[in-house]
Amino acid sequence: MTDARQPATRHLISINDLTNDEIESVFETAASYLEAQRDPDVPHRIKHSSETARGRILASLFYEPSTRTRLSFESAMLRLGGASITSADPATASTAKGESLADSVRVISNYADLIVLRHPRDGAARLAAKYAGVPVINGGDGSHEHPTQTLCDLFTLRRENRDLKGLNVALSGDLRGSRTIHSFIYALARFNANLILMPAKGMGLPEHVDRRLREEFRCVPAPTSDLKAADASVDALYVTADQPHQLSLLTEPDLGAPIDIASKLAQVDVVYVTRFQKERWKDKEQEYPKIGTNFLKATKYSGTRVMHPLPRVDELDVEFDADPRAVYFQQAAYGVPVRMAIIAALLGLAGERSLKQHAGGFAPTKQVLYSRPPQTGLRCANPNCIVHDPLERHYATNDFHLDMRHGSTLRCLYCEGEIDGFVAADRQTRQFAGFDPALHCPDEVFGDDVVLFASEDDARAAGFGPAAAGHGEAA
């Protein structure tokens, strides 16, 4: 039993772990640090230190390369008067001896007050949060999410006096592999921006991200034929329905009128560029869009802000750096005050704005948890999910959320990849049948004897037989 007086440990794994109000309060804290501690000569740079987190320790646990995320977190902790310890080379960490992430974070929880994790596997940060005894911050997990980068991105727009509501934001490059994009677009949709997708060939949004945008985040896609007729270089345009997000909303979002495509594309307020995520693709030769002065000379880009999470390779011309529309170095500089605010909020050092005091989290739909031991039944279908990491074989339980609106889509708790179509077996009757929420998940709770399988063949292989006809026979 959790003690109601004891606030739960808050983690920051997905941008959706924060409500819109919580995001705003992180920005207020970041702005106050910037005001109090900045370099008088450089408005976006923190120069002075405080005593806010004196005696506290941040552990940065990085299994993938990083410059900005790790160093800005460590700088942020030092500017707050705290200290940091680092493990940034997997070859010299106990992982090289075969230690699981679950064990590592349990141990590190005794050495530090919070952990920032970067990992090549999708969903690794959620697994770490399950086992750590201190707050875990996701510093990028595979191609899943990078929520603190999104907070830096949104804060940059705020400092540029851009109101997100109705803002036309173009996203260019590897929209499939870039975790920064996934966190950013969820936030943009939640703050009612319009999304103009300009992916490199074959690098559009993952299917589940696209589906969540439409079904949970009230994004309405413009009809493809009308869009292509207006601008063939744009792959998709989403306009966010200007209505409050509601639980279990069954209706399609309604804009009240057809999308005025021409007006959305006539003025692009932000161009967000990402590099080709070569470490996430097997095929390394790609045709890739290049953004620079030539691309940005069209009138629609005259007032735009060009952003990039960095590092850049060749997709963003260095000659553009001197252009006043380029804000990517400020964006990187804001990493320090924003991460100071995140650390302080998670450690309960931000007063009224501390995240520790609230349950929090943005939950647009009603979800029911299904959890079974690692070797039992259905596994996540995403091969890069942390559940498939051999080191985590004893820890990565098969955890999914069932979306109660459909009752037929499971979302992996770790990587948020989705599975449609599965069968349900009963450990008592030793029979399987097509999944029926009313039967297998009555009153929105999974029966203890229910085990899900990806297919009838998998259920048979585990020793179950088909239910008799007329008793919910497998479809």
Smallest Cα–Cα separation from 333: which of 131, 126, 46, 108? 46
Structure tokens at 275: 């590099």
Give the residue with the Cβ less far from ligand NCD, 216 or 317. Answer: 317
Q: Which residue is nearest to ligand NCD (CB)?
A: 309
User: Which residues are registered as beta bridge partners of 270?
Assistant: 169, 305
Of the candidate residues 16, 69, 365, 398, the single one contacting ligand NCD (CB under 6 A): 69
Query: Smallest gap, in angstroms, from Cβ of residue 86 to ligand NCD?
Result: 16
Our finding on whether 275 is near ligand NCD (CB under 6 A) is yes
3-state helix, strand, coil in the chain (%, to 5): 35, 20, 45
Q: Distance (Å, rounded) from C-alpha 410 to C-alpha 394?
A: 22
Give the residue with the Cβ less far from ligand NCD, 195 or 316. Answer: 316
Our finding on whether 151 is near ligand NCD (CB under 6 A) is no
Query: Smallest gap, in angstroms, from Cβ of residue 180 to ligand NCD?
Result: 5
Our finding on whether 182 is near ligand NCD (CB under 6 A) is no
Our finding on whether 68 is near ligand NCD (CB under 6 A) is yes
Query: Smallest gap, in angstroms, from Cβ of residue 24 to ligand NCD?
Result: 22
Give the residue with the Cβ less far from ligand NCD, 227 or 386. Answer: 386
Q: Distance (Å, rounded) from C-alpha 75 to C-alpha 376?
A: 43
Of the candidate residues 76, 310, 346, 450, the single one contacting ligand NCD (CB under 6 A): 310
Give the residue with the Cβ less far from ligand NCD, 310 or 467. Answer: 310
Our finding on whether 175 is near ligand NCD (CB under 6 A) is no
Our finding on whether 146 is near ligand NCD (CB under 6 A) is yes
| Residue 250 near residue 405, CB atoms below 8 Å | yes
- DSSP 8-state class, residue 282: S
Phi first, then psi, for residue 423 (nearest 5°) are -115, 160
Strands (E), 90-227: 114-119, 136-141, 168-173, 194-199, 219-221
Query: Smallest gap, in angstroms, from Cβ of residue 293 to ligand NCD?
Result: 22
H or E segment and range at residue 423 = strand 423-426
Strands (E), 227-311: 236-240, 270-273, 305-307
Query: Helices 68-79 and 147-159: crossing angle, nearest 10°?
Result: 70
Using CA atoms, how far residue 220 sits from 208, 232, 261, 311, in Å, is 15, 19, 12, 32
Of the candidate residues 38, 119, 159, 179, the single one contacting ligand NCD (CB under 6 A): 179
Alpha carbon 93 to chain centroid, angstroms: 26
* SS3 (DSSP) at 447: coil
Our finding on whether 52 is near ligand NCD (CB under 6 A) is no
Give the residue with the Cβ less far from ligand NCD, 197 or 310. Answer: 310
Query: Smallest gap, in angstroms, from Cβ of residue 332 to ligand NCD?
Result: 7
Of the listed pieces 258-266, 309-317, 411-419, 421-429, which binds ligand NCD according to CB under 6 A?
A: 309-317
Query: Smallest gap, in angstroms, from Cβ of residue 414 to ligand NCD?
Result: 18
Our finding on whether 176 is near ligand NCD (CB under 6 A) is no
Of the listed pieces 11-19, 183-191, 237-245, 307-315, which binds ligand NCD according to CB under 6 A?
A: 307-315
Query: Smallest gap, in angstroms, from Cβ of residue 201 to ligand NCD?
Result: 18
Give the residue with the Cβ less far from ligand NCD, 308 or 401. Answer: 308
Query: Smallest gap, in angstroms, from Cβ of residue 382 to ligand NCD?
Result: 18
Q: Which of residues 331-370 bind ligand NCD (CB under 6 A)?
A: none
Angle (nearest 5°) at CA 110 between 412 and 14: 25
Our finding on whether 309 is near ligand NCD (CB under 6 A) is yes
Query: Smallest gap, in angstroms, from Cβ of residue 333 to ligand NCD?
Result: 12
Phi first, then psi, for residue 125 (nearest 5°) are -65, -35
Give the residue with the Cβ less far from ligand NCD, 46 or 419. Answer: 46
Query: Smallest gap, in angstroms, from Cβ of residue 37 to ligand NCD?
Result: 22
Our finding on whether 149 is near ligand NCD (CB under 6 A) is yes
Give the residue with the Cβ less far from ligand NCD, 128 or 424. Answer: 128
Of the candidate residues 123, 140, 199, 364, the single one contacting ligand NCD (CB under 6 A): 140
Q: Is the dihedral of CA 353, 7, 13, 185 positive or negative?
A: negative
Give the residue with the Cβ less far from ligand NCD, 140 or 289. Answer: 140
Using CA atoms, how far residue 226 sits from 192, 204, 241, in Å, is 22, 19, 19
Question: Site size for ligand NCD, by CB under 6 A?
Answer: 12
The residue written with tokens 């030769």 in the block is 285
Give the residue with the Cβ less far from ligand NCD, 180 or 398. Answer: 180
Of the listed pieces 15-23, 128-136, 306-314, 398-406, which binds ligand NCD according to CB under 6 A?
A: 306-314
| Residue 235 near residue 197, CB atoms below 8 Å | yes
194-225 core/surface letters (b: 16 or more CB in 10 A; e: else):
bbbbbbbeebbbbebbbebbebbbbbbbbeee
Query: Smallest gap, in angstroms, from Cβ of residue 179 to ligand NCD?
Result: 5
Q: Distance (Å, rounded) from C-alpha 68 to C-alpha 200?
A: 25
Query: Interface with ligand NCD by CB under 6 A: which residues?
Result: 68-69, 140, 146, 149, 179-180, 274-275, 309-311
